[in-house]
């Protein structure tokens, strides 16, 4: 059974009865068994998957209504709640946590007969860029297992690119969907802020993060978006997209579109291979009829510092609820006083999360808020103004998703600032709420390079059209696994 | 610049026991020192912007019980309370 | 010079649901942790959903207290760790980016004084803690989240109060006002709480927390003023601190809260956008507001000629002023008001009695009319009222069943009067010189008629017979 098909192809075949969902799911599970020891994408696998697949086959045969997903196996980043399932955020703090409810995106996909094949690995509480900060061990890049797969949605990207599932849902706070998508050569999408409900997504930085799909093709992403986007009464920050159909007219192309090349995102520190690939991408875009021109976004220089200041502050607050009293892991309360208990219980956070919490306590604190947190908020405002100005002239902005090639496991783990700067091209979209997508573009020395496109708020449809157009200009080798 | 004492004070505020480990605190210092770059951003006069929602779109005031017995899904004591250490 | 300021927390108990989720706002009927959901229990991944009616009611409270009401309001996080705080932060309001809490500065009149309101904010109540275990070694804390997320309005005043009595009067007025607005029932247990801050002779401000009732607040303020005065007299400076009220020993005690706990790291709540309350909606809310207590009082006095005192009592009570509105007519308003304030309020002095009473507006109207038409004396009407509350029977029925009809038939009365005059020769003698004694004779007539005699008529006839 061929696992190397897109979601839309799978659905077509399943709908027509050309493939059995049960067989596909069963082959998928075999695949996971055979490669995941090496890759470590999965934290848990759904042992009812085959039974669920069988039921869907029955529905298809009997002519009953079947949901749009037709049993397609999807992996879910382990920071989204699936009712009665373990949801750990790759942290020892939540190793016993069983979610009592479904996240909105999960309910929506359940209704459409998706099969959640398993929960996948991530940086602990989504804080990281390489999945090396998972409390349960790093994931490996299927293109070269000595290299990082990116993060924090590393498990999502690995599982999609190694054919362990058809698609995945990750979360993107500063590039956490786009970065691993780029490193693993898949499509990774961060929608306009508010397009997808965050209800049931365990918060890290709630004012800027979004759930996003990782898929093999841009059309697959548009398909997923159709299923999960839309206003949700359970999330006051969701916006009305008027039931937009993102697949419709996705072939429209980008003739005449103006595309800005962000100078600060191709500056010093960019790997020469990445620069070359970027220039090639720009030619392709021009070949498709777009007009490309350089544009400067001055605040990008400060965006990484602003991003880490704001996210640490929000994380410090969002993670305060993990006091191990209602949920968490086994640690009895007898013999402790309140403060000593929770301070000890919270030692179960990994070192990176602990560092971020300390920063998150520091930068908004009474003596320092003016210098750090408030300034970061103002940088966020100014960057938003700059980018809005740019979008008056340009339809899209382009840059490499990550300025460097996927690096080796362990290479940057001790150098926090160098690690921060891997995010420099992606955080702007989060800080400003704009949609952005990473498209797999090139493989150099066996390592993937992705190109990022950004559009103005609520222009997700047009962004997907452009991404689809660019995607069609390249044919990439298969993952060597 | 940020001192180790300030960092220890904050870790108490955030209720996390931190073993006194120099390198650990050094990394935090490095990170916070990087944020000094914000001083040259020239943003003093910027206003903070936030998304808005009109009051009509807020949730209607209705009592809808949750349904599941949530207390049984949390760490509980005597089936009714959550247990915490003494104050 | 004593200065007292208040921070009052009032639950919006008339709402159906909590501030950020659809669990019940009034948690009092539930067993522990039976009124919770992932949002108010602070489960991972849950998000707050703001209650529209809560914002509206908080805005109306602000309008009723003459506070400015901004067009955009924002919510903030106050971060600290405590077991009754499910998220270990409280979603509340602040004014650090301009005026963003639901009510800005305003005033309220107490007697002849204007008390300034600093601000009004909308926020969530934490859960409740119970302590179990006898010795300090085996003590544990039990947490009940039923109350967590209940909508609270916090009203902060300037330190404009000068005496504890002023504070007490203010709290009663505020209580009546909130009840009249229909936003809360302050008599429910724990529905209205207050903290105070006290400074004397220009010294430091001392905060007093953990005050259980308004009665305790007056006592706590008293104690604190005394404590500070005695320190002043000995030239000892007042430490700026938080003290808590020890109800057992009836004193304030220094709280000595730790330094670390006081940094709340306030920042905007990213899960709730700024709420726009545009001028049209504000106008609508203003128009929908029930008539204020002072306006009612004014109306009672000028339109119905109800005496000031009676109007004061009647207008301050929402239940009875509503009853008054339903039962009075053009002609009997004063009588209805009188019955309510002098008789009914005393008879129905508890919530249970009010709820089990069978009295309706019709009863009240009929009774007032009967008194005015002389069908029943004011004296007898007391008995009638008793019976109405118990049985709900019509006024007409009760007057006949209890034989309460006024004896206003002159011939009948004259007969009785003549008998009394013959029975009481001494009193009659005295009455000729001492007019006061006539009242004794009137009393005798009343006795003989079982209170049904019309007192005015009796007096006049007696006077005639005696001359």
User: CB-based contact (8 Å) between B72 and chain C?
Assistant: no
With CA atoms as reference, report the closest residue to A232 among A115, A103, A114, A112: A103
**Nearest one of C47, C57, C54, C45 to C18, comparing CA atoms:** C54
Report angle CA C85, C89, C92 to the nearest 5 degrees.
105
- CA-nearest of C156, C146, C127, C153 to C55 is C153
CA distance C121 to A396: 43
Name which of B66, B81, B84 is nearest C23 (Cβ-Cβ).
B66
Q: What is the pLDDT of residues B15-41, one digit of tens each?
A: 998 886 677 788 888 999 999 999 999
Give the pLDDT confidence of A231-252 residue by residue, as tens digits.
999 999 999 999 999 999 999 9
Over chain C, what is the mean pLDDT? 89
Contact yes or no for C22 and B63 at CB 8 A: yes
pLDDT band of residue A481 (cuts 50, 70, 90) is confident
Using one digit for the tens of pLDDT, what is the confidence trace for A208-229? Answer: 999 999 999 999 999 999 999 9
Q: Partners for C (CB, 8 Å, 3+ pairs)?
A: A, B
Indicate the SS3 state at residue C212.
Answer: coil
- The residues with which A443 forms a beta bridge, in sequence order, are A448
Enumerate the active-site residues of A. 77, 152, 176
Which chain B residues are closer than 8 Å to A420 by Cβ? 31, 34
The 3-state DSSP class for residue C151 equals strand
pLDDT for the residue C123: 97
Q: What is the 3-state secondary structure (H, E, C) of A183-234?
A: HHCCEEEECCCCCECCCCECCCCCCCCEEEEEECCHHHHHHHHHHHECCCCC
Residue B1, chain A, CB below 8 Å: the answer is: no
> Which of the other chains make 3 or more beta carbon contacts under 8 angstroms with chain A?
B, C
pLDDT in tens, C108-121: 888 888 999 999 99
For residues C466 and A209, the model is more confident at: A209
Going by their DSSP bridges, the two strands C106-110 and A436-444 should be labelled as unpaired
Percent of chain C having pLDDT more than 70? 97
The CA distance from C74 to A259, in Å, is 37
Dihedral sign (CA C398, C404, C409, C412) = positive
Candidates C252, C18, C43; CA nearest to C148 is C18
Give the model's pLDDT for residue A74. 98
Considering only alpha carbons, which residue of chain C is nearest residue B83?
Answer: C142
HEC per residue, C402-447:
CCCECECCHHHHHHHHHHHHHHCHHHHHHHHHCCCHHHHHHHHHHH
Q: Between the CA of residue C107 and those of B15, C63, C180, C202, what are the distances in Å?
A: 41, 10, 18, 23
- For residue C126, the model assigns a pLDDT of 96
In this prediction, residue C408 has a pLDDT band, given cuts at 50, 70 and 90, of low
Residues of chain C positioned with their CB less than 8 A from the CB of B52: 72, 273-276
Tell me the mean pLDDT in the region A308-327. Answer: 96
Determine whether the interchain pair B82/C51 forms a contact, defined as Cβ–Cβ distance below 8 Å: no
Query: Of chain B residues 23-62, which have a CB less than 8 A from chain A?
Result: 24, 27-28, 30-32, 34-35, 37-41, 43-44, 46-49, 51, 53, 58-59
User: What pLDDT shows up at residue C257?
Assistant: 61
CB pairs under 8 A between A and B: 147
Q: Kindly tell me the burial class for residue C447, based on how many C-beta atoms sit within 10 Å of its own C-beta (0-12, 13-18, 19 or more).
A: exposed
In chain C, the residue whose alpha carbon lies closest to the alpha carbon of B6 is: C260
pLDDT at C260: 44
Checking if the pLDDT of A169 tops 80, the result is yes
Secondary structure (3-state) at A74: strand
Whether pLDDT at A172 is above 90: yes
Task: Report the mean per-residue pLDDT for chain B.
Answer: 88
Higher pLDDT, C425 or C46: C46
Q: What is the pLDDT of residues A405-444, one digit of tens each?
A: 999 999 998 888 889 889 999 999 999 999 999 999 999 9
Q: Which residues neighbour A455 within 8 Å (Cβ) at sequence distance 6 or greater?
A: A391, A395, A396, A397, A434, A435, A436, A462, A463, A466
Question: Hey, which residues does C17 pair with through a beta bridge?
Answer: C24
> What beta strand segments (E) does A249-328 contain?
258-262, 291-295
What is the sign of the dihedral through the CA atoms of A104, A108, A113 and A115? negative
Yes or no: say if A407 and A421 are a contact pair by the CB < 8 Å rule: no
Among residues 101-120 of chain A, which lie with CB inside 8 Å of chain B?
Answer: 101
CB contact under 8 A, C17 and B48: no
Q: What is the pLDDT of residues C315-368, one digit of tens each?
A: 988 889 999 999 988 888 898 999 999 888 888 888 888 888 888 888 889 888
Among the listed residues A231, A192, A176, the one whose alpha carbon sits nearest the alpha carbon of residue A387: A192
Mean pLDDT across chain A:
96
pLDDT exceeds cutoff 90 at A383: yes
Is residue A152 reached through a cis peptide bond, with omega within 30 degrees of 0 on the bond before it?
yes
Among the listed ranges A146-160, A166-180, A249-263, C394-408, which one has the minimum average pLDDT value? Answer: C394-408
Reported ipTM exceeds the 0.90 cut: yes
Q: Are B34 and A305 within 8 A, CB to CB?
A: yes
Alpha helices in A293-399 (DSSP H): 300-318, 338-345, 351-362, 373-393
Report the percentage of chain A scoring pLDDT > 70.
Answer: 100
pLDDT at residue C261, as a whole number: 52
Say what percent of chain C tops pLDDT 90. 53
CB C15 within 8 A of CB C56: no
């Amino acid at each position: 059974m061929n696992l190397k098909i897109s979601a839309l192809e799978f659905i077509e075949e399943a709908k027509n009865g050309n493939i059995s969902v049960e067989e596909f799911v069963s082959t998928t599970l075999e695949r996971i068994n055979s490669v995941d020891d090496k890759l470590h994408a999965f934290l848990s696998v759904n042992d009812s998957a085959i039974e669920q697949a069988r039921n869907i086959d029955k529905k298809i045969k009997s002519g009953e209504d079947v949901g749009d997903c037709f049993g397609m196996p999807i992996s879910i980043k382990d920071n989204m709640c699936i009712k009665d399932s373990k949801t750990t955020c790759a942290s020892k703090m939540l190793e016993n946590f069983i979610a009592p409810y479904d996240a909105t995106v999960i309910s929506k996909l359940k209704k459409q007969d998706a099969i959640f094949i398993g929960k996948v690995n991530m940086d602990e509480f989504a804080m990281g860029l390489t999945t090396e900060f998972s409390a349960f061990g790093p994931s490996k890049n299927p293109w070269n297992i000595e290299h990082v797969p990116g993060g924090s949605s590393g498990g999502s990207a690995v599982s999609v690119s190694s054919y362990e599932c058809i698609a995945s849902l990750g979360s993107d706070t500063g590039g956490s969907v786009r970065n691993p998508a780029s490193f693993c050569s898949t499509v990774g999408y961060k929608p306009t802020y508010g397009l997808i409900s965050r209800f049931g997504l365990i918060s890290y930085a709630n004012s800027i993060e979004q759930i996003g799909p990782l898929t093999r093709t841009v059309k697959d992403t548009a398909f997923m978006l159709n299923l999960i986007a839309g206003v949700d009464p359970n999330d006051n920050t969701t916006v009305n997209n008027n039931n937009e159909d993102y697949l419709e007219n996705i072939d429209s192309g980008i003739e005449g579109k103006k595309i800005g090349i962000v100078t600060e995102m191709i500056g010093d520190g960019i790997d020469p291979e990445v620069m070359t690939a970027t220039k090639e991408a720009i030619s392709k875009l021009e070949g498709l009829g777009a007009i490309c021109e350089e544009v400067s976004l001055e605040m990008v220089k400060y965006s990484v510092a602003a991003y880490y200041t704001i996210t640490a502050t929000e994380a410090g607050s969002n993670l305060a609820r993990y006091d191990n009293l209602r949920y968490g892991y086994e640690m009895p309360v007898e013999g402790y006083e309140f403060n000593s208990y929770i301070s000890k219980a919270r030692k179960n956070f990994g070192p990176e999360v602990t560092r971020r919490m300390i920063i998150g306590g520091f930068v908004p604190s009474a003596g320092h808020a003016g210098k750090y947190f408030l300034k970061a908020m103002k940088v966020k405002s100014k960057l938003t103004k700059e980018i809005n100005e740019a979008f008056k002239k340009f339809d899209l902005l382009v840059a490499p998703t990550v300025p460097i090639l996927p690096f080796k496991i362990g290479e940057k783990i001790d150098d926090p600032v160098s690690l921060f700067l891997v995010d420099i091209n992606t955080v702007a979209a989060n800080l400003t709420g704009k949609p952005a997508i990473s498209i797999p573009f090139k493989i150099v020395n066996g390592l993937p390079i992705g190109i990022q496109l950004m559009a103005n708020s609520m222009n997700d449809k047009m962004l997907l059209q452009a991404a689809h157009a660019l995607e069609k200009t390249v044919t990439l080798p298969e993952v060597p696994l | 610049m940020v001192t180790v004492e300030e960092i220890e004070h904050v870790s108490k505020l955030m209720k996390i026991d931190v073993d006194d480990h120099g390198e650990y605190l050094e990394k935090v210092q490095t990170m916070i020192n990087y944020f000094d770059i914000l001083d040259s951003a020239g943003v003093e006069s910027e206003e903070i912007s936030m998304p808005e929602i009109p009051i009509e779109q807020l949730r209607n005031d209705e009592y809808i019980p949750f349904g599941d017995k949530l207390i049984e899904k949390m760490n509980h004591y005597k089936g009714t309370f959550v247990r915490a250490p003494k104050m | 010079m004593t200065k007292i300021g208040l921070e009052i927390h009032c639950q919006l108990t008339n709402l159906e649901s909590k501030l950020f989720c659809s669990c019940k706002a009034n948690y009092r009927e539930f067993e522990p942790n039976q009124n919770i959901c992932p949002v108010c229990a602070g489960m991972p991944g849950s998000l707050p959903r703001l209650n529209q009616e809560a914002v509206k009611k908080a805005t109306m409270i602000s309008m009723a207290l003459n506070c400015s009401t901004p067009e955009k309001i924002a919510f903030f996080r106050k971060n600290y760790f405590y077991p009754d705080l499910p998220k270990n932060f409280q979603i509340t309001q602040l004014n650090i980016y301009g005026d963003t809490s639901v009510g800005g500065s305003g005033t309220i009149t107490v007697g002849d004084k204007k008390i300034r309101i600093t601000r009004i904010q909308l926020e969530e109540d934490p859960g409740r803690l119970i302590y179990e275990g006898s010795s300090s070694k085996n003590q544990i804390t039990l947490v009940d989240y039923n109350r967590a997320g209940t909508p609270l309005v916090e009203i902060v005043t300037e330190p404009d109060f000068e005496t504890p009595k002023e504070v007490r009067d203010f709290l009663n007025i505020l209580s009546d006002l909130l009840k009249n607005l229909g936003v809360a029932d302050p008599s429910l247990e724990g529905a209205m709480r207050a903290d105070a801050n006290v400074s004397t002779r220009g010294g430091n401000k001392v905060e007093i927390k953990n005050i259980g009732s308004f009665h305790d607040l007056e006592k706590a303020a008293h104690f604190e003023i005394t404590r500070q005065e005695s320190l002043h007299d000995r030239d000892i400076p007042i430490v700026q601190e938080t003290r808590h009220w020890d109800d057992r020993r009836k004193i304030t005690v220094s709280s000595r809260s730790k330094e670390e706990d006081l940094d709340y790291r306030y920042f905007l709540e990213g899960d709730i956008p700024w709420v726009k309350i545009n001028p049209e909606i504000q106008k609508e809310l203003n128009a929908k507001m029930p008539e204020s207590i002072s306006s009612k009082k004014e109306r009672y006095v000028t339109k119905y000629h109800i005496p000031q005192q009676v109007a004061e009592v009647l207008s301050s009570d929402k239940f009875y002023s509503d009853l008054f509105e339903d039962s009075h007519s053009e002609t009997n308003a004063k009588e209805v008001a009188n019955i309510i304030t002098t008789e009914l309020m005393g008879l129905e002095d508890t919530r249970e009695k009010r709820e089990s009473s069978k009295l309706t507006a019709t009863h009240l109207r009929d009774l007032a009319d009967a008194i005015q038409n002389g069908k029943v004396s004011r004296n007898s009407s007391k008995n009638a009222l008793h019976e109405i509350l118990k049985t709900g029977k019509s006024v007409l029925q009760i007057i006949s069943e209890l034989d309460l009809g006024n004896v206003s038939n002159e011939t009948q009365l004259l007969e009785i009067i003549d008998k009394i005059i013959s029975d009481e020769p001494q009193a009659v003698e005295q009455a000729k010189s001492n007019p006061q004694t006539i009242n004794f004779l009137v009393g005798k007539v009343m006795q003989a008629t079982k209170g049904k005699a019309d007192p005015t008529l009796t007096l006049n006839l007696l006077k005639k017979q005696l001359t």
